[in-house]
Amino acid sequence: MPLQNPRWSGHDRLPPPASSVAPRRASGRAVGGAILALHLLLAGAAGANAPAGAMPVDPPRAQPVAAAFKPADEFERLQFVGRAQPEVATVGLLRYVDTLPVDAPRRLEALMELGSEYVGLNRSDEVEQVAVRVDALAERVPLARPAAMLLRGQWMQTHGEVSKAERQIIEAQALLPATLPDWLRLRLLMNSAFV
């Protein structure tokens, strides 16, 4: 018997594996019918077809409730509010920043959050004002100058000035110390990823 090469078409071709045939060859009616049958089967098993007044097989269970977010402090609460209501959060962040001592590390973090909210709201003047406030902390807080550069880079990146934003981020990275607070490391990674 001569050795035959399997062909891709014709009566001598090899059948495709079963797993790849069904989805491609089934008609829309067949798939729709299978889904409807599965739906009716599952609804019947759940007690949907039970006569009126009869108890279903499994009583419906209450859906698990997600744990409510409980912020640890005012700053976390304002960050949470800022996700849905950035205008409200910016007013609260301005008040919060003014209550903090100038040397407090949380002040720089709050200013960066405020600047990011302004970037999201597309307010260039406010972003620059916050960056100037962050720069003013440079004598007391060593991370202030690179943080201001990151904020300006975020603004530039958001508004299509990618090469300028990249330059700001590279210069900020050069000024950063080896150990960074987690919030600043995360902000740096996010800004670098988008540029």
What would the pLDDT profile of 4-17 be if each residue is shown by its tens digit?
A: 565 555 666 666 65
What is the pLDDT confidence band of residue 110, given thresholds at 50, 70 and 90?
very high
Q: What pLDDT is attached to residue 111?
A: 94
* 3-class secondary structure, 23: helix
Task: Tell me which range, 41-45, 47-51, 113-117, 170-174, is most confidently predicted by mean pLDDT.
Answer: 113-117
Q: What pLDDT is attached to residue 102?
A: 87
Please state which architecture CATH assigns to domain 74-194: Alpha Horseshoe (1.25)
In this model, does residue 105 exceed pLDDT 60? Answer: yes
**Which amino acid, 138?**
A
161 or 20, which is more confident: 161
Measured CA to CA, the distance from residue 133 to residue 128 in angstroms comes to 9
Q: What pLDDT is attached to residue 36?
A: 63
Torsions phi, psi for 3 (to 5 deg): -75, 125
Point out the least confidently predicted range of 18-27, 91-100, 158-167.
18-27
In this model, does residue 21 exceed pLDDT 80? Answer: no
What would the pLDDT profile of 162-184 be if each residue is shown by its tens digit?
A: 899 889 888 988 888 888 888 88
Q: What pLDDT is attached to residue 47?
A: 55
Torsions phi, psi for 140 (to 5 deg): -95, -35
Q: How far is CA 165 from CA 19, 41, 152, in A?
A: 50, 58, 7
What is the pLDDT confidence band of residue 116, given thresholds at 50, 70 and 90?
very high
Measured CA to CA, the distance from residue 110 to residue 1 in angstroms comes to 83
Residues 6+ apart with CB under 8 A from 45: 57
What is the pLDDT confidence band of residue 94, given thresholds at 50, 70 and 90?
very high
* 3-class secondary structure, 120: helix
What's the whole-number average pLDDT of the chain? 78
> pTM (2 decimals)?
0.62
Q: What pLDDT is attached to residue 131?
A: 95
Q: Are the beta carbons of 134 and 112 closer than 8 angstroms?
A: yes
Measured CA to CA, the distance from residue 103 to residue 154 in angstroms comes to 24
* Percent with pLDDT over 90 in the chain: 32
What is the pLDDT confidence band of residue 60, given thresholds at 50, 70 and 90?
low
Q: Are the beta carbons of 47 and 57 closer than 8 angstroms?
A: yes
